[in-house]
């Protein structure tokens, strides 16, 4: 089975669950490999009160024995601590006195379209699954993908380069992304970080919220992941699909993205050079992808996130139970979730790259994958990193 994952769980239900398929046997995997990014997802200036309640940590339910994967699906559980406060409203068991339905859909959220699609008069049934809490399970799956890729020298990280009206250069953010965790807003520049925090404070004071932009960088990808042969195998399309699937993402770019439309061809293409007997590039404007395949340069994917839909300044809506004009329902929420979205973006990019990597080099066990990778690296003349530990 191809490397992939599925998730289950509601925002205030008992737990979030991730099931990762196609994980090779023999991959060293421990809880801390996943918990590291689960903690990073919960951080960030502008996060709401929910993050003070939860402490996301993974429990392996299957697929791992004595610190190594078995080749079977890896099942992970992340309990929701807040469920203790919601059990009467979210219990799976039938109840005699159900809570009153919520009938005030929020503009910009899945509420109204979801109620219409799934024939429910209670938007609680929609918001619980469409909540960004689901991304906890995505980050857990991404932790498995990152551990696999790291054994072959592929590292994935991210940085925020815009929050509201405050921006940093995307190119510089990508180059300095390793420093992003030093900032509460995950921007590598300390001065810009402080301006972003002030922007978030102003939005919070106005009972509003902010969106922004982030960039994900994957270094160490060998040339040839993905394919030009069939549209379904083009790696840039898969990356765009995966990152766009994150809650509130409204735009995805690869490399220069939309900026390429403003330049001549000679100003966009990454010229091919020969340096010390090795092929290299003069630039990386196309984000490490050509013809739907990696070209050996860092893969660079950026995304734009809209402000979240739940704000204290409740927007106009219609009460679907009465048909009367009203104000939108408000749940506990963040003032800005862009720093967390960047971490989720890392996970989605890692999952797509892991899938492409295993399609290229095999998927049964780490020993055979290592042999296939080393043979390929030797044939095309790239350095093969050390073995996975």
DSSP assignments along 287-312, one per residue: TTEETTEE-SSPEEEEEEEPPPS--S
- At 387 the pLDDT is 46
Per the domain annotation, does 303 fall within a domain? yes
Give residue for tokens 């469409």: 130
Which residue is it, tokens 């993402």?
249
Residue 385 reports pLDDT greater than 80: no
**pLDDT tens, 203-224?**
999 999 999 999 999 999 999 9
Residue percentage of the chain with pLDDT more than 70: 97
The pLDDT, as a whole number, for residue 51 is 59
- Whether 13 is covered by a domain: the verdict is no
Domain membership of residue 172 (yes or no) is yes
- pLDDT of 334 reads 84
- Using CA atoms, how far apart are residues 254 and 213, in angstroms rounded to an integer? 13
Ramachandran angles phi, psi of 317, nearest 5°: -155, -175
The whole-number pLDDT of residue 50 equals 57
Q: Read off the pLDDT of each residue in 140-147 and give the average, rounded to a whole number.
A: 98
* 314 vs 125 pLDDT, higher one: 125
Q: Which residue has the tokens 């991210």?
A: 158
More confident residue, 388 or 85: 85
Average pLDDT, whole number, for the chain?
A: 94
Q: How is residue 377 annotated by DSSP? A: H
Confidence bin at 386 (pLDDT 50/70/90): low
Q: Is 17 contained in some domain?
A: no
Average pLDDT over residues 250-271: 97
pLDDT at 8: 98
> What order do you get walking across the sheet with 299-305 strand by strand?
166-167, 155-163, 212-219, 299-305, 249-254
In a domain, 218, yes or no: yes
Q: Does the residue 8 lie in any domain?
A: no
pLDDT at 389: 36
The pLDDT of 109-120, averaged and rounded, is 97
3 state SS of 355: helix
Percent of the chain with pLDDT over 90: 89
87 has a pLDDT exceeding 50: yes
Count up the domains in the chain and report the number. 1
As a whole number, mean pLDDT of residues 19-41 equals 97
Give the domain range for residue 229.
101-380
Q: How confident is the model over 43-56, as a mean pLDDT?
A: 73
The alpha carbons of the chain give a radius of gyration, in whole angstroms, of 22
Per-residue pLDDT, averaged over 29-58, amounts to: 85
Q: Tell me if 62 is assigned to some domain.
A: no
User: What is the per-residue pLDDT for 49?
Assistant: 59
Question: Counting Cβ atoms within 10 Å, is residue 201 exposed (0-12), middle (13-18) or buried (19+)?
Answer: middle
Decide if 63 is inside a domain.
no
| C-alpha to C-alpha distances, 339 to 110, 300, 311, 336, nearest whole angstrom | 22, 17, 18, 8
What distance in Å separates the CA atoms of residue 342 and residue 174, rounded to the nearest whole number? 12
C-alpha 149/C-alpha 294 separation (Å) is 14
Residue 48 is predicted with a pLDDT of 66
Helical residues (DSSP H) of the chain, grouped into ranges: 31-42, 50-53, 87-90, 111-118, 124-130, 135-150, 170-175, 190-205, 235-244, 338-361, 366-380
pLDDT confidence bin for 6, thresholds 50/70/90: very high
Confidence of residue 383 (pLDDT cuts 50, 70, 90): confident
Tell me the CB-side half-sphere exposure of residue 73, using CA atoms within 13 A.
14
238: CATH: 3.60.150.10
* CA quadruple 180, 183, 189, 194: dihedral sign: positive
Confidence class for position 313, pLDDT limits 50, 70, 90: confident
10 Å Cβ neighbour count for 316? 9
Q: How confident is the model at residue 1 (pLDDT cuts 50, 70, 90)?
A: confident
Query: What's the pLDDT score for residue 52?
Result: 59
- The tokens describing 388, both together, are 């996975």
End-to-end C-alpha distance for the chain, whole angstroms: 24
User: Among 338, 301, 108, which residue's Cα sits nearest to residue 212?
Assistant: 338
């Amino acid at each position: 089975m191809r490397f992939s994952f599925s998730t289950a769980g509601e925002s205030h239900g008992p737990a979030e669950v991730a099931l990762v398929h196609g994980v090779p046997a023999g991959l060293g995997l421990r809880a801390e490999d996943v918990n590291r990014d689960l903690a990073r997802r919960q951080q960030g200036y502008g996060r709401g009160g929910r993050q003070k309640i939860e402490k996301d940590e993974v429990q392996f339910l299957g697929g791992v024995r004595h610190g190594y994967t078995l080749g079977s699906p890896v099942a992970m559980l992340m309990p929701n601590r807040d469920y203790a406060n919601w059990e009467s409203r979210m219990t799976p068991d039938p109840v005699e006195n159900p809570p009153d339905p919520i009938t005030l859909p929020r503009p910009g959220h899945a509420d109204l379209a979801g109620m219409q699609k799934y024939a429910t008069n209670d938007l609680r049934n929609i918001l619980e699954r469409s909540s960004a809490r689901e991304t906890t399970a995505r980050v857990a799956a991404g932790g498995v993908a990152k551990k696999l890729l790291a054994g072959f020298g592929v590292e994935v990280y991210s940085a925020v380069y815009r929050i509201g009206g405050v921006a940093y250069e995307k190119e510089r953010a990508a180059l300095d992304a390793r420093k992003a965790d030093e900032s509460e807003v995950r921007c590598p520049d300390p001065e810009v970080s402080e301006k972003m925090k002030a922007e978030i404070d102003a939005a919070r004071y106005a009972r509003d919220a902010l969106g922004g932009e982030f960039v994900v960088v994957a270094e160490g990808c060998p040339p040839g992941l993905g394919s030009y042969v069939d549209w379904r195998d083009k790696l840039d399309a898969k990356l765009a699909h995966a990152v766009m699937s994150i809650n509130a993402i409204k735009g995805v770019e690869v490399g220069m993205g939309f900026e390429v439309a403003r330049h001549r061809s000679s100003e966009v293409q990454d010229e091919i050079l020969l340096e010390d007997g090795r092929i290299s590039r003069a630039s990386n404007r196309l984000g490490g992808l050509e013809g739907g395949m990696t070209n050996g340069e860092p893969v660079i994917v950026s995304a734009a996130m809209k402000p979240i839909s739940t704000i204290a300044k409740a927007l106009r809506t219609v009460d679907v139970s009465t048909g009367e004009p009203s104000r939108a329902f408000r749940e506990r929420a963040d003032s800005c979730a862009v720093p967390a979205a960047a971490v989720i973006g890392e996970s989605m990019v890692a999952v797509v790259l892991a899938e492409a990597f295993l399609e290229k080099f095999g998927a049964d066990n780490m020993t055979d994958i290592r042999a296939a990778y080393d043979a390929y690296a030797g044939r095309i003349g790239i350095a093969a990193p050390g073995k996975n530990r």
